[in-house]
């Protein structure tokens, strides 16, 4: 079958077909510069401020689902087969304000207005999913939207009141749903897309096997999943990414299987997609999960990307290593499995050869005898990178510790297990004294660095105290805030 050479998607009410899309073109530049849709703003160009928030709808297992995303770090080429909705699409044909916009006006939710379109789009996504949100739900939806002058109180009041001005049943996107679903279905032709100039080329594989073949043939290519890391390589560092292989559209990489023993997920599963399963099967991770980035980034960013980027401060590796997760790597048709901790060899070095990719991740579910926790220490509560992240899984039988897995991020050049602290727990009684000994032993496991996020001393102290906190919390004892 011949390749297609244009990217096709729906933009608001129109079909768009773009030949020669450069791989590094962002959706924000396309909207503002090429389409003059200037309601979508550029604040930071790095996924932090939310001024560029738009909705992207994609078919998943036949159902159309819209999510708020950051247009500044989303590449135009990745939108093949999607419906992009900008703030211009909100008001009715008669120019009437949308219920979310009316609520923002009536509750004085805007001052300078620069952040406002992005806030409106995040609240629009929330209103469609949860028309009558709690304040906490509003705060979670707005984690990725910064407003520096109004203050959030009127915005939250507007969000809570939005359904008084109209309900999602009468909204454009609800009324158009069948038509948009049919149009997006018609766009799927099962072909690989190759487009863009030779020095800025995009490849969208037809399916997973085609991805494996394309990457094996172009091992120098940049694989792009959610683009929440790669987007910044382009907007902040002007790095070339060609040829780029986009994989966010591949349904095989979005699959999730749950068995009594484990959750197995494709590497392209996003944080938001996994969130309900985390709440159901790994509830100790729920709060931690909501502290990864902001809502827009969680809608785009993938677990596979968080592993493959090899960062020592990624939030998922420590908690997944503590649970005993394994990754499946694939090169062409060949696959191999390895424990996640073995994937990280050294700073910037992973056990992954050219043309090999992360295909899936298997997370064993803890037994009832295993006590688990996850901790994130960062300067800001929301939308911040960890100074230290920790995952702990400790199995206790008859009052004795029979197994202990403790993994930390931010303490070494890679996410790493605390082998000496684990050994100090193994075979010992579950007691405060055992955990105090293990906390002291941890100083042999790590020699952390000082940087602008935290000093080496702080990192070590906090890691040791997290071990003590784990013991106290598990026993329902008060957690002392001073050591
Ligand atoms: C504002 C903001 C806040 C953030 N906050 C956090 C945070 O709190 N915690 C945190 O851990 N991270 C955070 N991040 C970083 C980022 O969101 C995560 O690392 C995310 O999981 C990356 O996934 P992605 O799909 O977007 O990766 P991409 O940007 O698409 O790719 C990242 C890297 O992985 C490679 N890659 C992706 N998928 C595969 C695959 N299947 N096989 C092989 N290689 C692959 C890419 O080639 C690239 O090298 C934040 C980012 C932003 C912009
Ligand atoms: S411009 Fe700030 S998040 Fe996109
Ligand atoms: S209204 Fe948001 S920064 Fe001013």
pLDDT in tens, the chain (483 residues): 689 999 999 999 999 999 999 999 999 999 999 999 999 999 999 999 999 999 999 999 889 999 999 999 999 999 999 999 999 999 877 889 999 999 999 999 998 889 999 999 999 999 999 999 999 999 999 999 999 887 899 999 999 999 999 999 989 899 999 999 999 999 999 999 999 999 999 999 999 999 999 999 999 999 999 999 999 999 999 999 999 999 999 999 999 999 999 999 999 999 999 999 999 999 999 999 999 999 999 999 999 999 999 999 999 999 999 999 999 999 999 999 999 999 999 999 999 999 999 999 999 999 999 999 999 999 998 889 999 999 999 999 999 999 999 999 999 999 999 999 999 999 999 999 999 999 999 999 999 999 989 999 999 999 999 999 999 999 888 776 554
Tokens found for residue 51: 């001024």
How far apart are the CA of 410 and the centre of ligand 2, in A?
Answer: 26
Ligand closest to the CA atom of residue 297 = 1
In angstroms, rounded to a whole number, what is the distance separating the alpha carbons of residues 46 and 385?
Answer: 13
Instruction: Tally the C-alpha atoms within 13 A of residue 28's C-alpha that lie toward its C-beta.
Output: 22
Atom of ligand 1 nearest to the CA of 230: 29
Return the ligand number nearest the Cα of 50: 2
How far does the centroid of ligand 3 lie from the alpha carbon of residue 116, in Å?
6
- Side by side, the strands of the sheet bearing 370-377 are 370-377, 388-397, 400-409, 416-417
- Angle (CA) 312-315-316 rounded to 5° is 105
State in Å: Cα 49 to ligand 3 middle.
11
Please name every residue paired with 360 in a beta bridge, in sequence order, or none if there are none: 266, 328
With a 6 Å cutoff on the Cβ, whether 357 touches ligand 1 is: yes
Coil/strand/helix, residue 108: coil
Handedness of CA 205, 208, 212, 213 (dihedral sign): negative
Cβ of 112 closer than 6 Å to ligand 3, yes or no, is yes
Q: Is 151 in the pocket of ligand 3 (CB under 6 A)?
A: no
Give the ligand with the smallest distance to the CA of 151: 3
Residue to probe by mutation, ligand 1, list 225, 354, 361, 384, most atoms within 8 Å of CB: 225
DSSP state, 396? E
- What's the rounded Cα separation, in Å, for the pair 309 and 231? 13
Closest by CA to 262, choosing from 323, 318, 206, is 323
**401 C-alpha vs ligand 2 centroid, how far in Å?**
47
> Which residues neighbour 42 within 8 Å (Cβ) at sequence distance 6 or greater?
28, 32, 51, 52, 72
Q: Where are the alpha helices (DSSP H) in 24-70?
A: 27-29
For the stretch 298-357, pLDDT in tens is: 999 999 999 999 999 999 999 999 999 999 999 999 999 999 999 999 999 999 999 999
- Rg (the chain; Cα; Å): 23
Which two tokens mark 122? 């995040």
């Amino acid at each position: 079958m011949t390749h297609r050479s244009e990217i096709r998607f729906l933009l608001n009410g129109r079909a768009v077909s773009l030949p020669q899309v450069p791989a590094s073109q962002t959706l924000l530049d396309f909207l503002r510069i090429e389409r003059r849709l200037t309601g979508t703003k550029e604040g930071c160009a790095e996924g932090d401020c939310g001024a560029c928030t738009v909705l992207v709808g994609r078919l998943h297992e036949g159902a159309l689902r819209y999510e708020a995303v950051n247009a500044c770090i989303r590449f135009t080429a990745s939108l093949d087969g999607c419906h992009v909705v900008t703030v211009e699409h909100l008001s009715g044909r008669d120019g009437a304000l949308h219920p979310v916009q009316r609520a923002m006006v009536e509750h004085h939710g805007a001052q300078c207005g620069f952040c406002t379109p992005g806030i409106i789009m995040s609240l629009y996504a929330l209103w469609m999913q949860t028309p009558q949100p709690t304040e906490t739900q509003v705060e979670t939806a707005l984690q990725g939207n910064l407003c520096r002058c109004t203050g959030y109180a009127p915005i939250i009041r507007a969000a809570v009141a939005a359904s008084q001005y109209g309900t999602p049943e009468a909204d454009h996107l609800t009324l158009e749903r069948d038509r948009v679903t049919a149009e997006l279905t018609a766009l799927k032709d099962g072909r690989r897309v190759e487009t863009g100039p030779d020095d800025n080329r995009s490849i969208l594989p037809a399916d997973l096997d085609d991805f494996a073949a394309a990457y094996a043939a172009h091992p120098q290519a940049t694989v792009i999943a959610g683009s929440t890391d790669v987007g910044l390589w382009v907007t902040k560092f002007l790095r070339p990414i060609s040829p780029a292989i986009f994989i966010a559209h591949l349904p095989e990489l979005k699959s999730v299987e749950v068995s009594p023993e484990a959750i197995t997920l494709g590497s392209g599963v996003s944080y938001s997609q996994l969130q309900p399963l985390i709440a159901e099967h790994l509830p100790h991770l729920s709060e931690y999960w909501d502290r990864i980035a902001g809502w827009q980034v969680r809608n785009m960013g993938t677990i596979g990307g968080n592993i493959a980027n090899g960062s020592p401060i990624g939030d998922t590796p420590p908690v997944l290593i503590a649970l005993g997760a394994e990754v499946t790597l694939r090169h062409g048709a060949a696959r191999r499995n390895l424990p996640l901790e073995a994937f990280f060899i050294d700073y910037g070095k992973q056990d992954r050869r050219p043309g090999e990719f992360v295909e899936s991740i298997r997370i064993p579910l803890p037994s009832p005898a295993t006590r688990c926790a996850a901790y994130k220490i960062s300067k800001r509560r929301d939308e911040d990178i960890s100074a230290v992240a920790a995952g702990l899984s400790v199995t206790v039988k008859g009052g004795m510790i029979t197994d202990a897995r403790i993994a930390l991020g931010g303490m070494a050049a890679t996410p790493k297990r605390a082998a000496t602290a684990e050994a100090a727990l193994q075979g010992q009684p579950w007691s405060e004294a055992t955990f105090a000994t293990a906390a002291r032993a941890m100083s042999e496991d790590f020699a952390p660095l000082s940087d602008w996020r935290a000093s080496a001393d702080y990192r070590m102290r906090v890691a040791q105290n997290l071990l003590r906190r784990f013991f106290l919390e598990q026993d329902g004892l008060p957690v002392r805030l001073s050591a």
